[in-house]
Amino acid sequence: MKAVVLGGTKGMGRALSRALAADGHDVWLLGRNAEDLARSVEDLKARSPSVKVGAAPCDLESPASFGPALDAADAGLGGFDTVAVTAALFGTQDQLEADAALLQRLLTVDFAHTVLFCEAVRTRLLSRGGGRLVVFSSVAGERGRKPVVLYGAAKAGLTAYCEGLDHRYRAAGLVTVCVKPGFVKTGMTAGLKAPPFAGEPEQVAVDVLRAMKRGAPVVYTPAPWALVMAIIRMLPRFVMRRVGF
């Protein structure tokens, strides 16, 4: 693979970038912080000196950055065939209800701008016969739940987009993998109480890389979340109103 990772300097994105490079795949990092990108490139080069590594600026809050970033990745890798979108914003329900500006940013970045970025990727990959598009959504988008009404709504929209994209374009060669992490211990979740089955970024990376190779349309990670969410999907609405998870 020649893989582009948006958000590959932190958390699950960094772990996935390391896993890809360790597995022998060239990696091009996209992110908004130049210092983070430079440090991450050096980290990957030190860990996996035999693969090609590079980086370019890209900010999900600025769609104007998408085209130049993908151009740089194409030039640096000699054409890419895989893109993973791990970047996102997060806010607790209380934070989002209290801060309209933060809510607008999150809904825009986690849904609208992520879809715009994916559409730019889709066009490029289909023009060269296809490839892989790996998009990190969340189990928060599986059902409307009290603790994640707003964040979950953005992720639900992203999940629906990924499913539709896979139905529409897999026959044309575009394999869409929707990643649905449960609670993962990253900087994004720092300070929050970890529930049972909380995962580590490194395990998520292993699960996602395996799913990428299989072309699985959906992957829950850590694995127990597949069963947890299967149960939650079956609960009747009157039960969901009463529970607090």
Q: Note the pLDDT tens digit of each residue in 83-92.
A: 999 999 999 9
Asked if pLDDT for residue 191 goes beyond 70, the answer is: no
Which residues belong to the active site?
151
Residue 244 pLDDT: 75
Q: Give the domains, in start order, of the chain with CATH numbers.
A: 2-242 (3.40.50.720)
Whether pLDDT at 188 is above 80: no
Residue 75 has pLDDT above 80, yes or no: yes
**Statement: residue 187 has pLDDT above 80:** no
| Local structure of residue 193 (DSSP, 8 states) | P
Which helix (H) or strand (E) segment holds residue 167: the answer is helix 149-169
The percent of residues above 70 in pLDDT, for the chain, comes to 94
pLDDT at position 48, please?
Answer: 97
User: What six digits make up the tokens of 167?
Assistant: 């139905």
3-state SS assignment for residue 182: coil
- Over range 71-91, report the average pLDDT: 97
For range 177-197, the mean pLDDT: 75
pLDDT value of residue 164: 98
Q: Is the pLDDT of residue 209 over 80?
A: yes
The alpha carbon of 232 is separated from its chain's Cα centroid by a whole number of angstroms, namely 22
How far apart CA 107 and CA 157 sit, in angstroms, is 10
What mean pLDDT value characterizes the chain?
94
**Residue 245, pLDDT score:** 76
Other beta carbons within 10 angstroms of residue 68's beta carbon come to 12
- For the residues 71-93, what does the mean pLDDT come to? 97
101-142 residue pLDDT tens: 999 999 999 999 999 999 999 999 999 999 999 999 999 999
Q: What share of the chain is helix, strand, coil (3-state, %, to 5)?
A: 55, 15, 25
**What is the structure's pLDDT at 190?**
59
pLDDT band at residue 243 under the 50/70/90 scheme: confident
Interval 39-62 mean pLDDT: 97
For the chain, what percent of residues have pLDDT higher than 90?
87
Flag whether pLDDT at 189 surpasses 70. no
Which pLDDT score, from 0 to 100, does residue 194 have? 64
